């Protein structure tokens, strides 16, 4: 069930509220784990675990800086998610257009 394609991994990762908070925070600039844990209602290990998931999803990367690990968003992962959404966005519009046409046909035919 758990597909390995990037968009699927990204969506599963962002399905959790705490991970969304971390991700949104990182879109405003890189941060260390300690900094992320501050301002979140969960412990630091919890943040580490979430970062691991976000990393496996291709949404973030980290760079060592002394004992600190500076996390930043990975545009490639976000791009994959963007592609997935654009693709289904077009499909949604097309499907909705067909649906609207069918409604019009049904209303105007009798």
Partner DNA sequence: ACTTACCGTAAGCCATGGCTAACCGAAATC
Partner DNA sequence: GATTTCGGTTAGCCATGGCTTACGGTAAGT
Give the Cα separation of 19 and 77 in Å (integer): 15
In the Cβ-directed half-sphere of 95, how many Cα atoms lie within 13 Å? 6
Q: Which residues contact a second copy (rule: CB under 8 A)?
A: 1-3, 8, 11-12, 14-18, 20, 23-24, 26-30, 63, 72-75, 78-79, 81-82, 85-86, 88-89, 91-93, 95-96, 98-99, 103
Q: Which of 2, 6, 20 is nearest to 57 (CA)?
A: 6
Residues in region 8-47 near DNA by CB under 7 A:
15-16, 18, 32-35, 41-46
Q: Does 72 bind DNA (CB under 7 A)?
A: no
Judge whether 25 and 71 are in contact, CB under 8 Å. no
Binding of residue 63 to DNA (CB under 7 A): no
Among a second copy, DNA, none, the one that 96 touches (CB under a kind-dependent 5 to 8 A) is a second copy
Residue 24 contact, options a second copy, DNA, none, Cβ 5-8 Å cut-off depending on partner type: a second copy
Of DNA, a second copy, none, which one does residue 32 interact with (CB within 5 to 8 Å by kind)?
A: DNA
Strand-strand pairing, 31-32 and 60-65: unpaired
- Helix 17-26 × helix 44-56 angle, to 10°: 80
């Amino acid at each position: 069930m758990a597909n390995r394609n990037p968009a699927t991994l990204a969506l599963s990762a962002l399905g959790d509220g705490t991970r969304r908070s971390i991700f949104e925070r990182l879109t405003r600039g890189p941060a260390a784990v300690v900094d992320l844990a501050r301002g979140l209602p969960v412990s630091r290990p919890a943040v580490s675990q979430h970062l691991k998931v976000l990393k496996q999803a291709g949404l973030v990367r980290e760079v060592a800086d002394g004992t600190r690990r500076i996390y930043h968003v990975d545009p490639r992962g976000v791009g994959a998610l963007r592609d997935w959404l654009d693709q289904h966005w077009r499909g949604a519009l097309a499907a909705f257009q067909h649906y609207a046409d069918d409604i019009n046909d049904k209303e105007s035919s009798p």
